[in-house]
């Protein structure tokens, strides 16, 4: 079969002769119609991920055909019995297990879900990993309520966009940040109240003028910016962190946390019940994932380059 295979560190190969997988007991074979990239795939190629094995087919997001029906795949495997945190053997599809950047993939049968009827195959493939991560961040951890003021940082990435869409569909007011003016404009066209460019020196002051404080912050960057954003949190605010691309958060003063009763909550992916709840919410509110661009699997290197450059607004799709 055709597949994008990581054969060694920083070496991604398009193969036309990769063995088609055979499902084991309790597994299903999915014919992949569409797949999507995540930053996780880029980090694996760069060697910035634990437990990398070779060769491996990358890709955590996929939609296709299984047993004659249109399906999508929950890439969160082996969460365990405690909904508060994942079990020791937990892993995400696409490392170390072969992933979705191929014509076929085998997955545990319980991880195969019916595709929401209103979504195209491309939209369905865009949903699983980022949608699940955003759902847990917005609802399970952030507990966003109607009318609350929400800040979503780094708009344009898959998780950030879903977080914005979920919060808006819950009746919240949403502001965003980005390093690109065009992404801010696109976010406002999708319903954001406003946004600021964090590359500008006065971004914090401008954000305070726009929103006058936040009840919930959804952040995937960390770094110095998150420490500054804490200054804009309302009493009782929840700050949910799902990533750390900008590194450690310096200069957090405990007084800023305990006096305002601010909660900082970490989150990553989610369990099966959250995935099912996310699909139900998406279907009920007719939420459509934002698609940035579509590549053929044979043009996978170009797709990965676009992801690495961080220019995308929405999900990057690949079609075998």
Q: For 185-219, what is each residue's pLDDT tens digit? A: 999 999 999 999 999 999 999 999 999 899 999 99
Task: Render pLDDT for 54-72 as a digit per residue (tens, 0 to 9).
Answer: 999 999 999 999 999 999 9
Alpha-carbon span 316 to 304, nearest angstrom: 9
Nearest Cα to 179, choosing from 203, 161, 159? 203
Task: Render pLDDT for 116-141 as a digit per residue (tens, 0 to 9).
Answer: 999 999 999 999 999 999 999 999 99
Phi, psi angles (nearest 5°) of residue 225:
-60, -35
Model confidence at 49: pLDDT above 90? no
Alpha-carbon span 36 to 215, nearest angstrom: 32
Model confidence at 50: pLDDT above 90? no
CA-only gyration radius of the chain, Å: 19
Per-residue pLDDT band for 281 (boundaries 50, 70, 90) equals very high
Phi, psi angles (nearest 5°) of residue 147:
85, -10
pTM: 0.97
How high does pLDDT run on average in the chain?
A: 96
Supply 128's token pair: 């699983």
Model confidence at 264: pLDDT above 90? yes
For each of the domains in the chain, give its residue range(s) and CATH number, in order of start: 3-127+289-319 (3.90.180.10), 132-266 (3.40.50.720)
Task: Render pLDDT for 74-99 as a digit per residue (tens, 0 to 9).
Answer: 999 999 999 999 999 999 999 999 99
More confident residue, 296 or 255: 296
What are the residues whose beta carbons fall under 8 Å from the beta carbon of 11, sequence distance 6 or more?
none
Task: Render pLDDT for 289-309 as a digit per residue (tens, 0 to 9).
Answer: 999 999 999 999 999 999 999
Q: Say what the pLDDT of residue 218 is.
A: 98
Letter string b/e over residues 76-92, b meaning 16 or more CB atoms within 10 A of that residue's CB: bbebeeeeeebeeeebb
Task: Render pLDDT for 137-185 as a digit per residue (tens, 0 to 9).
Answer: 999 999 999 999 999 999 999 999 999 999 999 999 999 999 999 999 9
Supply 86's token pair: 């994942």
Alpha-carbon span 137 to 191, nearest angstrom: 19
Strands 11-15 and 291-296: unpaired
Model confidence at 311: pLDDT above 90? no
H or E element that contains 56: strand 56-57
CA distances to 21, 109, 148, 173, 273 from 169, in Å? 39, 30, 12, 10, 20
Q: Say what the pLDDT of residue 249 is.
A: 85
Model confidence at 256: pLDDT above 90? no
Nearest Cα to 203, choosing from 233, 169, 177, 174? 177
């Amino acid at each position: 079969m055709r597949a994008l295979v990581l054969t060694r560190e920083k070496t991604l190969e398009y193969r036309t002769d990769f063995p088609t997988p055979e499902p084991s007991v309790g597994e299903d074979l999915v014919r992949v119609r569409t797949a999507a990239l995540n930053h996780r795939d880029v980090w694996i190629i760069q060697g910035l991920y634990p437990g990398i094995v070779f060769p491996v087919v990358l890709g955590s997001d996929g939609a296709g055909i299984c047993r004659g029906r249109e399906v999508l795949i929950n890439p969160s495997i082996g969460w365990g019995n405690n909904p508060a945190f994942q079990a020791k053997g937990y892993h995400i599809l696409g490392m170390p297990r072969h992933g979705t950047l191929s014509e076929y993939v085998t997955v545990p049968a319980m991880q195969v879900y019916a595709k929401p009827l209103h979504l195209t195959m491309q939209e369905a493939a865009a949903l699983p990993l980022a949608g699940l991560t955003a759902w847990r961040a917005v609802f399970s951890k952030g507990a966003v309520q109607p009318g609350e003021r929400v800040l979503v940082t780094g708009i344009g990435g898959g998780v950030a966009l879903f977080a914005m869409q979920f919060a808006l569909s819950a009746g919240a007011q949403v502001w965003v940040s980005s390093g690109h003016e065009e992404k801010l404009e696109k976010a406002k066209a999708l319903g954001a109240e406003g946004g600021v460019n964090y590359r500008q020196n006065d971004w914090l002051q401008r954000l305070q003028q726009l929103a006058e404080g936040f009840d919930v912050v959804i952040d995937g960057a960390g770094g110095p910016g998150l420490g500054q954003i804490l200054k804009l949190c309302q009493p009782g605010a929840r700050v949910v962190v799902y990533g750390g691309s900008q590194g450690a958060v310096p200069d957090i003063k405990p007084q800023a946390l305990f006096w305002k009763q601010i909660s900082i909550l970490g989150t990553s992916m989610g369990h099966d019940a959250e995935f099912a709840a996310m699909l139900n919410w998406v279907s009920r509110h007719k939420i459509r994932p934002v698609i940035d661009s579509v590549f053929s699997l044979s043009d996978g290197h170009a797709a990965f380059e676009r992801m690495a450059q961080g220019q995308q607004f929405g999900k990057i799709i690949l079609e075998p």
